[in-house]
Structure 1
């Protein structure tokens, strides 16, 4: 499979084209320029072509250490990675000085280059597409990423630019079809051949991008002292040992009352979406100011969404008296986060790399717990013992009778209790059962679901007729 990077100045429609090709609204799109900052990869489909597409930040001039300069470095890394380049201009605006400057830059990259005149719908767009000939990059492909026009011409341009890579061998096609079929099979059992989806969330400036770069061993994501650099939830595929992983870096999440900027709202929603679709969520907390109210709110959100949770204490290299503080923070997590009792709390440093191996081990362990299934026989042996030592209370003089328990599904562990009068079972007794399940069957760090089902009384209808 080949790779194409979309390059261009800000606000020419790169993210709109990216979303159109991957078939999902993965990249944030807004009218204001500079929305995209990191490079984002996705699997694109165009006709019978399947390839990796990279969305990049708008090319801007700037000092190397400035935010614009660091964004440009990410774009240059995408150019190096790509087999071909989409150079996109805004056909309505016409050729701008920056377009000429960056066209010369891309010409030196010595990669197959396809010139795209986006927003070419209408009279103004058509004139701008003709103007693109001045760049000396060959015939422009007029298209509308927003409306889906011009994609047949785009397909032909890709095939012409990459003839060897677009002529797929029959064996490769069969392998891709087999992979698609395998990916469609779903089950709740642990499958280590599939990529484990992990989302890193936390407050702004907790160090999420720095930590992920350290895990990857490269400066894959844009970092810096400025708060709010990350906007999109960026998914990165890699392997750790023999495990395939897809880890998502997300925007910093503040309390909604404090969020006024439209882009921050979009970025926050994108981050929460990544957390909802992850299997394991790493809540990154600044160890120098731990367990703020927003940290607890995010942990509760993860539990309500039924995701496995790991708490990472970042900036551990700045902490003194580590042993005492770690013990206190683990006790605090146990007290404040009873809904995920036993959640792993791992000290890390995105700057020095300390604790990375322990963090990955905790992620794999909690994921295995999240997928855990317990046999009905073991559950009912435990239930009999629990009922004998602590029977449920009577309600209005009538005894609540619990008959048996079974696990309905995993991801997270979900149990159903059957019996009589269970509609009146107190919440305190349900918590007692869930705590017993967690302790007996070793289920730390994952939310537990418990529902009740009252057995129907076959004599109830007969009694009502007699009455």
Structure 2
């Protein structure tokens, strides 16, 4: 594991802004409201020629044992235990507070190298606050502005004494097929608030890595965790619950939802979690439609199945309901699980692997041509305005998801109903359940179009 640094400090001193600056992406949510970050988040930081793992943590705070605040604090303490060094961040514009002094003692007790960062140091007020920080006894403060990128050179000088420089490879390494197969599958877990997403991931990890609570909206950031399950690697993203847009009022929830949607776009397989007692509600269908439009492989997990009264034919009923409500992803795997009790986890992970394989599938050209001729013979395209539509041939252009180009005479005249027929027939013939199938229409060039008619 690479050298690891945890960013700690009281709430709203700019820890997540610094995290985003170092990883080069806006991964962590940032807002003026204190306490936005709850779970710890890891990223690969780059500071000139230095590479290291950086951990963003929740603001150090105190709360009664068992409360959400206390459990957030436990997440921060775990990050400190995993780290090789600490960035202790203060707000230079505000100056030292009693909380800063208390948590400075906490940082010293960790018995690890601590770099004192006086953030928001731009301007005269920031300069005065940075001078105050000498009183913490953590050495010389490094004056930075995480938002504007100031002081990164001084930060580099301090970090370089802890982290060895990364040697650049002279030759570019080309990824082999074996390496691609060994790459973790990127999986996003999405659903309505309080569907049990974090509880499921905690069970997979075998530890309370992600905060859970009966209160909806506990998860805010999209947190990525690495797991290995039966020899296969997975990078799983826990996301905030997705509600209807009309119900989202707070700015922070809008940021959380945007972060969840970004996780969907970067995922390869998306697990849509539903509550077993309130499944296939309107918002579930909207989320499934979004996943299909983004072109991701879909697995449906019906959670809290342990709360359902056992009845014959329940699983078959789930299959019928899924195909009825989600015809655009017909055949998508649907698994009954209990994230709390660990029921159905094996089936869920197997469904993810199978959906990933289907999403990457390429259809042999010969088989595709035979299917195409048979599909047209069994159900010819309709005539439009008295003119017959001619479908010439079809070819697969890419996988992830399976995408095809259909060459035809009049692309704008082919009805959507006929395209749905081709997609459904293709799903059945080539075993493409659940994954989005894309067919793009392209008019075949007329080789005689450029020639003028000869005069009589």
Which band: TM-score by shorter chain? over 0.9
Distance 2:388 2:123 in 1: 76
- Give the C-alpha shift of residue 242 in structure 1: 2.8
Return the alpha-carbon distance in structure 1 between the equivalents of residues 255 and 212 of structure 2: 20
SS at match of 2:180: coil
- Is 1:166 matched with 2:164? yes
Shift of 1:181: 4.0
1:3 CA drift (Å): 0.5
Instruction: Summarize the Cα distance change of 1:209–1:182 in structure 2 as closer, same or farther, 3 Å threshold.
Output: farther
> For each residue in 1:415-441, what CA deviation from the matched residue of structure 2 results, as whole angstroms up to 9, or x when unmatched?
111232343222111111111100000
Alpha carbons 2:49, 2:165 under 8 Å: kept: no
Q: Deviations over 1:399-430 (max 9, x none)?
A: 22222111111111111112323432221111
| Corresponding position: 1:61 with 2:62 | yes
Look up the SS of the partner of 2:401 in the other structure: coil
Indicate the RMSD between aligned Cα atoms, in angstroms.
1.9
Hey, what does 1:23 align to over in structure 2?
24
**Partner Cα distance (1:242, 1:127) in 2:** 55
TM-score (norm 2): 0.96
1:109 partnered with 2:98: no
Structure 2 match to 1:369: 358
Contact residue 192 and residue 243 of structure 1 kept, 8 A? no
Which of 293, 296, 302 lines up with 2:291 in the alignment?
302
SS in 1 for 2:145: coil
Q: What residue in structure 2 maps to residue 36 of structure 1?
A: 37
Which residue of the partner structure matches residue 198 of structure 2?
209
Can you give the 5+ residue segments of structure 2 that lack an aligned partner in the other structure? Answer: none
In structure 1, the residue matched to 2:339 is 350
Q: Per-residue displacement from partner, 1:214-235 (whole Å, max 9, x unpaired)?
A: 1111111111111101111111
SS at match of 2:328: helix
Q: Is the 8 A contact 1:21 1:44 kept in 2?
A: yes
Q: Please tell me whether residue 292 in structure 1 is matched to residue 281 in structure 2.
A: yes
* 2:152 matched residue in structure 1: 151
Determine the C-alpha separation between the residues in 2 that align with 1:324 and 1:69. 44
- Taking a change above 3 Å as real, the CA distance of residues 296 and 14 of structure 1, as seen in their structure-2 partners, is same
Deviations 1:286-321 (A, max 9, x none): 111111100000000000110100000111111112
**Distance apart, 1:394 and its partner CA:** 1.9
> 1:80 and 1:216 mapped to 2: Cα distance?
18
Larger mean Cα displacement after TM superposition, 36-45 or 414-423: 414-423
What's the CA shift for 1:94?
A: 0.8
Kindly report which structure 2 residues correspond to 1:251-266, keeping only aligned pairs within 5 A, or say none.
251-266=240-255
Separation in 1, partners of 2:400, 2:13: 41
Corresponding residue for 1:82?
83
- Choose which of 375, 387, 406 in structure 2 pairs with 1:398: 387
Q: Is contact 1:37-1:230 (8 Å) kept?
A: yes
- Alpha-carbon contact 1:83-1:111 (below 8 Å) kept: yes
Instruction: Summarize the Cα distance change of 1:333–1:319 in structure 2 as closer, same or farther, 3 Å threshold.
Output: same
Matches of 1:49 and 1:243, distance apart in 2: 30
| CA distance in 1 between partners of 2:43 and 2:454 (Å) | 64
Q: 1:107 to 1:420 in 2, by over 3 A?
A: same
Q: Secondary structure at the match of 1:166?
A: coil
* Displacement after TM superposition at 1:167 (Å): 5.4
Q: In the alignment, which residue of structure 2 is the partner of 1:312?
A: 301
Determine the structure 2 residue equivalent to 1:139: 140
Matched with 1:413 is 402
Question: Where does the alignment leave 5 or more consecutive residues of structure 1 unmatched?
Answer: none
- Whole-Å separation in 2 of the counterparts to 1:420 and 1:95: 74
Relative distance call for 1:195 and 1:437 in structure 2 (3 A) is same
| In structure 2, distance between residues paired with 1:46 and 1:34 | 27
Matched, 1:330 2:319: yes
